[in-house]
Amino acid sequence: MIIDKTKCIGCDFCLVICPLSAIYLEKKKAVIDQHTCVECGVCKRSNICSQNAFLEDDLNWPRSFRKVLSDPVTMVETTKVTGRGTEEMKTNDVTNRYKEDEYGFSIDVGRPNIGTSIREIEKLTKKLASLGVIFEEENPITTIMKDLKTGVIREEMLNQNLMSGIIEFRIPREKLKTVLNALQEIEPEIGTVFTIGIVTKFSKEDNNLPVIDELESNGFSIAPQAKINIGLGRR
Amino acid sequence: MTHTLHRQLFQEDVKKDFVILSMAAQGFNNQGATPKLVQLLEILRKHNPDNYGDDSIGSIFTGITLEKMKENASDHSYMDAVYTNIDDLVGVLKELKEADLGISVTVTGDRETILRALKVVGIKPNSIHLSLGIMGQKEKLPERDVLKICSLCGHGMIAPARVRDIVRKISAGKIGVREGAELLGNTCTCGIFNTKVAEEILQKMVQKGGSR
């Protein structure tokens, strides 16, 4: 995103609209710091500018990847999903992406509200790859990996910034503790925040969640909120 | 997209925050899903949502009308809504079950409350996404009240600076609390920003004299 200086009247109203504080005033005109801007489009969509001075410039690869993952109304072409480009467990009743004998993980890097470079994401993908996790193929972060066995991401992507990017993978249930320990181990090296989500399928018989005991006995606390796929989908 | 899972609310807010997301599975049941998604949106709207929208174009607080959402609906649409009480949630779940559209639906909110509601309605859930919270450089996060409001949009479209600005404007008497909550909702395109909860948090922030 850029600002048309011929239209900007320097009112400064837009300075507060950017989630990553990329807009500043210079010589009485608003300017967008192109390194910080993740192309989320909030500034333009908000209509905060009375002069309609926000302009979407043509984005070339790899900068266009910023918009793909940071602007929720942009569709990821490879997965045909908006938002951050993955259905994760939201359609699990149809896709069976996560099965009964495994756990799914979503690690949302940069979230909430801080943002991330892809280099930070790579620190995590490399660590996770060393544990033999199975990265989800229908996920945009997986598509930029050079090698799923090492978690290495293509060099030209590493300096790109995103609002956040979701690393998504599956593990056999017995690996839960190993993965959580690895995340704790690498935490001090990560230059941003990240959230952890664990997906498990309910058994056919009941709604018991043995994973909760397992997590709590390993010292992890679980938020009272959860997202539940209620099973109304079908092929 | 885990955008409803990590809402940073306290227990009292969680009881007033139930989010429904629905979508077709691409490559599985998306072909010809548009009319079902439109019907689903109409069901969501009937049960007093605080907010609703189609992820791919916008919500009622971004200025998109129901008619516009229906017009623009596609096989890729996400239909979303947020409810502020359990009765409305149970009502919408009952109707979704009866409609039997075959479209995937998730509910985010207090885990035990949702599981009880599903039992009442007679729905056996498929899977659950649990949150282990935030790790990493948490010192970079905005102050607690601001974070609570910002997290109501999981895509991070609510700027912390704007929340503080809105609080200043309410405190100065330039806008009302309700108006402030609705203004904040206008950058969240999905229709999951809970304006009622935001309004209550803003009110408390103003009473405390700003953001903490």
Cβ contacts of B9 on chain A, cutoff 8 Å: 225
Task: Give the torsion through C-alpha atoms of A224, A230, A231, A233, to 10 deg.
Answer: -120
- pLDDT at position A83 is 66
**B112 exposure class (CB count in 10 Å sphere: 0-12, 13-18, 19+):** exposed
The pLDDT of residue B191 is above 80: yes
> What pLDDT, in 10s, does the model give residues B142-185?
999 999 999 999 899 999 999 999 999 999 999 999 999 999 99
Judge: A227–B5 Cβ closer than 8 Å, yes or no. yes
Give the range among A64-78, A195-209, B17-31, B103-117 with minimum mean pLDDT: A64-78
How many residues does this entry show for chain B? 212
Q: Provide mean pLDDT across the span B25-32.
A: 94
What the block records as the tokens of B87 is 């009765």
Higher pLDDT, B120 or B190: B120
The full set of domains in chain B, from first to last, is: 11-121 (3.30.70), 138-208 (no CATH)
Q: Chain-wide mean pLDDT for chain A?
A: 94
Task: Return the axis-axis angle of helices B160-171 and B177-185, rounded to nearest 10°.
Answer: 160
**Do residues A93 and A37 both lie within one domain?**
no
The pLDDT of residue B1 is above 70: no
Contacting B residues, span 35-54, partner chain A, CB-CB under 8 Å: none
Give B48's pLDDT tier (boundaries 50, 70, 90): very high
Residue A87, domain member (yes or no): yes
The residue segments making up the domain with residue A120 are 73-217
Residue A23, domain member (yes or no): yes
A162 contacts: CB under 8 Å, gap ≥ 6: A38, A65, A66, A69, A70, A110, A115, A116, A117, A118, A121
Question: Does B67 lie at the interface with A, CB-CB under 8 angstroms?
Answer: no
Q: Tell me the percentage of chain A whose pLDDT exceeds 70.
A: 96
Q: Provide mean pLDDT across the span A145-152.
A: 97
Taking alpha carbons only, the member of B135, B150, B160 closest to residue B188 is: B150
Judge: B155–A87 Cβ closer than 8 Å, yes or no. no
C-alpha distance from residue B182 to each of A79, A123, B59, B188 (Å): 32, 39, 11, 10
The pLDDT of residue A183 is above 70: yes
CATH number of domain containing A211 = 3.30.70.260
Where would I find the H helices in B100-143?
Answer: 111-121
Structurally, how many domains does chain A consist of?
2
**Do residues A32 and A110 both lie within one domain?**
no
> What pLDDT, in 10s, does the model give residues A94-123?
999 999 999 999 999 999 999 999 999 999
DSSP-derived pairing of the beta strands A134-135 and B18-23:
unpaired
**Do residues A31 and A142 both lie within one domain?**
no
Residue A137, domain member (yes or no): yes
Judge: B26–A92 Cβ closer than 8 Å, yes or no. no
The pLDDT of residue B211 is above 80: no
**Do residues A181 and A82 both lie within one domain?**
yes
C-alpha distance from residue A101 to each of A69, A138, A158, A203, B49 (Å): 30, 20, 34, 10, 36
Question: Does B100 lie at the interface with A, CB-CB under 8 angstroms?
Answer: yes
Q: Residue A212 — φ and ψ, nearest 5°?
A: -65, -45
- pLDDT at position B212 is 56
- Angstroms from B57 CA to nearest CA on chain A: 6
Give B10's pLDDT tier (boundaries 50, 70, 90): confident
pTM: 0.95
What the block records as the tokens of B209 is 């004299």
The structure tokens 């998306």 sit at B30
CATH number of domain containing A42 = 3.30.70.20
Question: Does B106 lie at the interface with A, CB-CB under 8 angstroms?
Answer: yes
DSSP state of A147: E
CA B199, CA B149: separation in Å to the nearest integer?
A: 9
The pLDDT of residue A86 is above 90: no
CA B191, CA B209: separation in Å to the nearest integer?
A: 29
- pLDDT at position A81 is 67
- pLDDT at position B12 is 78
C-alpha distance from residue A2 to each of A31, A37, A215 (Å): 7, 9, 46
**Do residues A144 and A94 both lie within one domain?**
yes
Residue A226, domain member (yes or no): no
The pLDDT of residue B2 is above 60: no
**Do residues A100 and A41 both lie within one domain?**
no
